[in-house]
Amino acid sequence: MHSKEIIYQNKRLHYKIGGSGNLVVLLHGFAEDHQVWIHQFEALEKDFKIIAPDLPGSGLSEALETEHLSIEDLAKAIDAVIDEENIKQFILIGHSMGGYISLAYEQLFSEKIKAIGLFHSTCYDDSQVKIQNRKKSIEFIKNNGSEAFLKTIIPDLYFNTSNELLHIENHLSIAKNISSSTLIQYYQSMICRPNNEQVVKKINKPVLFIGGSHDKLIPIEQTINESCLADCSFIKILKNSGHMGMIEEHQKTNETLNQFIHFVNK
């Protein structure tokens, strides 16, 4: 695994790359960077080529200079990495907000996608309640700063916080480097994203759904219902995870991803 970067819209876009063979791209979510996939990278690069980008504004990637960042803008930034690596087709796995970006990518560049994985994510747009909660979060960030905000939300992403203290501290150390303006941009892009239910219904490729039984953001019942939308769907329920199954149950996550990737490429 090594670091690479490209210049996209005059900004640095960083990603980790390693392994060889069929390509799998791992997209992190809100208030994260490529490091959340460390367990998956180590397990999967033995058999596959893996790319884990830092989304613009996260990790070592610079934020894009745009007044109204959209989920589609983030998908186009990821496509710049794909073009740089001269990849024709690949599997795209997105965690949370990364799942929203994955569905946007499917709409924009469908011919490049072999299969999609929605990891603690959803194809639906925000409910009015969720929109109001995101707007409240934006005001909290403006008034109190990003670090105070992150300390309130990140522990709730994990199921058993007493057992995950080290992971929570690591997560906080990653997230605190993301600016308040970027977090606000991410929230605004999620508020404005479309409902992609029809995208999943019409998709003509395998779709993997991974949910956590104790996920406070994406109820497991919703994940189960969404898995019925796609013609060729796979579902894995992580029984001891909240919203961070790639960390909380990384071995089961690795097994699930490995099986899915082998199925897609057989």
Residue 163: the pLDDT is 78
pLDDT classification of 164: cutoffs 50, 70, 90: confident
Q: Is 249 part of a structural domain of the chain?
A: yes
Closest CA to 131 of 193, 73, 183: 193
Residues with Cβ within 8 Å of 115's Cβ and at least 6 positions away in sequence, in order, are: 91, 92, 205, 206, 207, 208, 260, 264
Q: Is 175 part of a structural domain of the chain?
A: no
pLDDT digits (tens, 9 = 90+) for 198-208: 999 999 999 99
Residue 266: the pLDDT is 86
**Across residues 185-204, what is the average pLDDT?**
97
For the cut 90, the answer to whether the pLDDT of residue 263 exceeds it is yes
pLDDT digits (tens, 9 = 90+) for 238-258: 999 999 999 999 999 999 999
Q: Is-contact 246 39, C-beta < 8 A?
A: yes
Q: Is 42 part of a structural domain of the chain?
A: yes
Residue 13: the pLDDT is 98
Q: Which two tokens stand for residue 87?
A: 């990849």
pLDDT digits (tens, 9 = 90+) for 93-130: 999 999 999 999 999 999 999 999 999 999 999 999 99
Q: Is 153 part of a structural domain of the chain?
A: no
Phi (first) and psi of residue 94, to 5 degrees: -125, 130
Q: Is 117 part of a structural domain of the chain?
A: yes
For the cut 90, the answer to whether the pLDDT of residue 162 exceeds it is no
Q: Report the number of distinct structural domains present in the chain.
A: 1
Q: What residue ranges in 1-75 does DSSP mark as E strands?
A: 2-8, 11-18, 23-27, 49-53
- Which CATH number belongs to the domain containing residue 212 in this structure? 3.40.50.1820
**Residue span of the structural domain in which 66 resides:** 2-125+194-265
pLDDT classification of 1: cutoffs 50, 70, 90: confident
Q: Is 177 part of a structural domain of the chain?
A: no
For the cut 90, the answer to whether the pLDDT of residue 77 exceeds it is yes
Sheet holding 233-238, edge to edge: 2-8, 11-18, 49-53, 23-27, 90-95, 113-119, 207-212, 233-238
Q: Is 16 part of a structural domain of the chain?
A: yes
Q: Is 14 part of a structural domain of the chain?
A: yes
